[in-house]
Amino acid sequence: MTFRMGIIGCGAIGNVHAETARRAGLTVAGNWDLLPDRVAGMASKYEGCIGHASVDDLLASDVDAVAVAVSNRCHVECAVAALEAGKHVLLEKPMAMNVAQCDEIIAAAERSGKILQLGFVCRGAPASLAVKDFIDAGRFGEIYHAKCSFYRRRGIPGLGGWFTTKAESGGGPLIDLGVHVLDLVMYLTGSHDPVRASGQVVSKFGSPIKDYLFTDMWSGPPKLDGIFDVEDGVTAFIRFGSGMTLELNATWAANLPEGVHANGVTLLGEKAGCFFEVFGDDVTIATEEEGRIVDLNPHFVGGDNKKDDAWDRQYAQFIDAVENGVTPHADGASGRRVQSIIEAIYESSEAKREVELH
């Protein structure tokens, strides 16, 4: 059986959802966006896809499930409406703007009995899978420290648009990029109990908008009369009840020569440690075997396009959840957990001290 998928939000990632749904054998049956040309553009690409005139229209149609790929502020209203209309939901990251909204979405999912899966696509990257296999087999022992870095030199997305407007996005690279790696580390290590966080966010590059130097930009040229009131860099330190600590660095812009700092995830375990770029070509696991210090380089499973692989796995899991009732591992609780860390880091930055997670 294949089911009928609706797409809410037909921008950059909405189109990736539609294409991945098609590759997975689903029917892209309907869509909706605030911008009519985006609705029409996507509808014309998929046979039988109906471009709807409102979100209510789409949710009243016979789609079985929807992908929610709108700006962050609208995640809660779209996800709750979809669940209340009896649709399964694949919800983009970040789950919402804050923990209270995550709770609203989780409650709606519980009431409806429908599947809620989060778009934590990095979990399905070939490198992540390789590391997870070794961790689950006990090869790392206790993982006591993790470090994740997501540095962009000049990569503010859609400067002046919704990404850089706090009321629309909830924040900058912490909620946009940090969300991916915070989730990934908790998923891989099994440390699910963040207790305290200390962090600092900075905003140094996007204002005034006309002075921002860059070579390219996600989602079009800067909007010169737009808003930039979010951070463009974050550094944070998180303590877990398990004893693990986690260091996070993420920038949309920084005066950092290319290649000086590796972008990726480092895990330090008692028996083994590793470093990998999430969509990189290899993983190095540093360990000891037969009385020697050795590096292991597991081969990857999958095709050449690591991002497509990860997206395909995300959809395979969503389909398994919808068709067979298998609970997705990227569930509402994991989205809420990441959001609670993000909220604590913003709070810590404001208070200039370590804070407890609520």
Q: Hunting for tokens 């290649």 — which residue is that?
A: 259
* Residue list 138-197, contact with ligand NAD (CB under 6 A): 176
**Cis peptide bond N-terminal to 221, omega within 30:** no
For the segment 90-149, give every residue that binds ligand NAD (CB under 6 A).
Answer: 92-93, 119, 121
Tell how strand 194-202 and strand 143-151 pair up: unpaired
Nearer to ligand NAD, 70 or 185 (CB): 70
Question: Is residue 76 part of the contact set for ligand NAD (CB under 6 A)?
Answer: no
Residues 31-60 within binding reach of ligand NAD (CB under 6 A)? 32-35, 38, 55
Measured CA to CA, the distance from residue 98 to residue 119 in angstroms comes to 16
Asked if residue 342 binds ligand NAD (CB under 6 A), the reply is: no
Closer to ligand NAD by CB, 72 or 287: give it: 72
SS3 12: helix
- Distance between CA atoms of 26 and 38, rounded to whole angstroms? 20
Residue 69 interacts with ligand NAD (CB under 6 A): yes or no: yes
Q: Residue 79 Cβ, how far from ligand NAD at the closest point, in Å? A: 11
* Closest among 190, 109, 147 to 276, alpha carbons compared: 147
Residue type for position 315:
Y
CA–CA dist 50, 70 (Å, integer): 18
In this chain, which of 20, 27, 31, 72 binds ligand NAD, going by CB under 6 A?
Answer: 72
Q: Least distance to ligand NAD from the beta carbon of 103, Å? A: 18
The least distance separating ligand NAD from the CB of residue 113, rounded to whole angstroms, comes to: 25
334 scored as a contact of ligand NAD (CB under 6 A)? no
Which residue is at the shortest CB distance from ligand NAD? 11
Q: Please tell me whether residue 357 binds ligand NAD under the rule CB under 6 A.
A: no
In the complex with ligand NAD, the residue whose CB is nearer, 181 or 319, is 181
Residue found under tokens 């059986």: 1
Residue 116 is inside which H or E element, if any?
strand 116-118
C-beta closer to ligand NAD: residue 10 or 238: 10
Contact by Cβ (8 Å): 18, 68? no
Our CB check for ligand NAD shows the closer of 4 and 38 to be 38
Strand ranges inside the chain, DSSP E: 4-8, 27-32, 50-51, 65-68, 88-91, 116-118, 143-151, 194-202, 233-240, 245-251, 264-269, 272-276, 283-289, 292-296, 355-356
Question: How many residues make contact with ligand NAD (CB under 6 A)?
Answer: 24
Amino acid identity of 313? R
Distance CA(262)–CA(33), nearest Å, equals 37
Strand partners, 151: 251
What share of residues in the chain are helix, strand, coil (percent, to 5)?
40, 25, 40
CB of 161 to ligand NAD, least distance (A): 7
- Distance in Å, CB of 72 to ligand NAD, minimum: 5
Per CB under 6 A, contacts with ligand NAD among 4-33 are 8-14, 32-33
Which CB, 34 or 351, lies closer to ligand NAD? 34
Residues in contact with ligand NAD by the rule CB under 6 A: 8-14, 32-35, 38, 55, 69-72, 74, 92-93, 119, 121, 176, 219
